[in-house]
Amino acid sequence: MKSFAVVGHPLEHSLSPTLFNTAFKALGLDYTYTKEDVGLSELKLILEKVRSGEYSGLSVTVPYKEEIIPYLDELTPEAKAIGAVNTVYFSEGKVKGTNTDWQGFMDALVKHTDLKNKKILIYGAGGVARACLYALRKFKDNVFLTNRTEAKGMRLAEEFGVTYVHKNKLPDVDIFINATSASLNPKSKNELLVSEEQLKKVSTVFDLVYGEALLTKTANTLGIKTIDAKEMLLYQAIRQFEIFTGKEAPVEVMAKSIDLSY
């Protein structure tokens, strides 16, 4: 018997318990995966539960991917480069943190597109944009970054060695990645972020935020290929499952459990 949990707040809509419990059942593992919907002050205590063996691993989600770092004994190089942790596990007597979001993003992206010679625009400069930039580090000559707050975007572009572009002077690109939380805010919910003219020149849109927002709807209407944000969730969970259990994840059943075809 092993126990795992997702740590974050709020967690009502988290699909992680469904993904993991379905996978455990499919492999006949006597493991459980629950939710730890906690405040910041409780993070330390939850991590002590990893140290004591009460939890064998944790998924970490909004808003604690950065806040959890000071409580960990060690970070993997990718977690360090991204500056965020979404996976906690116990190994060699240490509570360690890693990041599988970048792999989830990349797995979903390459499943749908060939990146060779493609120009890619990332809109956003928050935590998830950092994971995307890390994932695309080998393609950085073809990656452009823009952000609402210019100074923040410019700093990030410089850090990852990509080209910063002003949001009103976007270049023509093949792949458009929305790494902003604009659609979650009622005030900016119906903003497209780019002009429809600009969008028409794109061949693939990957909106990382769940739910069919205006961007995906418009792209679908224009006949542009779209990638479901749930694919990133699925693939980061698959990598996490393998870290947690040392076993190959049952991808097909996991995909089905969150209504994705595989």
Q: What distance lies between CA 150 and its chain's CA centroid?
A: 22
C-alpha 37/C-alpha 231 separation (Å) is 23
Q: Report in angstroms how near the CB of residue 6 gets to ligand NDP at its nearest.
A: 12
Which residue of the chain is nearest ligand NDP when measured via CB?
126
Contacts of 51 (CB under 8 A, 6+ apart): 90, 95
Verify whether residue 65 is a known catalytic residue.
yes
Rounded to a whole number of angstroms, the minimum distance from the CB of residue 115 to ligand NDP is 18
Nearer to ligand NDP, 90 or 136 (CB): 136
* Min separation Cβ 49 and ligand NDP, Å: 24
CB nearer to ligand NDP: pick between 224 and 238? 238
Nearest-approach distance from CB 90 to ligand NDP, in angstroms: 24
Angstrom distance (rounded) from CA 61 to CA 66: 9
CB of 30 to ligand NDP, least distance (A): 28
Q: What is the DSSP string of 78-90?
A: HHHHHT---EEEE
Closest CA to 169 of 192, 190, 195: 195
Residue placing its CB nearer to ligand NDP in the complex, 126 or 198: 126
Which one from 2, 35, 44, 65 is the annotated catalytic residue? 65
Residue with Cβ nearer ligand NDP (56 or 147): 147
Give min distance, CB of 200 to ligand NDP, in A.
20
Residues that bind ligand NDP (CB under 6 A): 101, 104, 124-129, 147-149, 152, 179-182, 184-185, 188, 208-209, 229, 232-233, 236
Q: Kind and range of the H or E element at 22? A: helix 16-26
- Give the integer Cα–Cα distance in Å for 213 and 16: 21
- 87 near 59, Cβ under 8 Å? yes
- Kindly tell me which of 89 and 206 has the beta carbon lying closer to ligand NDP: 206
Residue whose CB is less far from ligand NDP, 90 or 97: 97
Strand, coil or helix: what is 215? helix
> Residues with catalytic annotation?
65
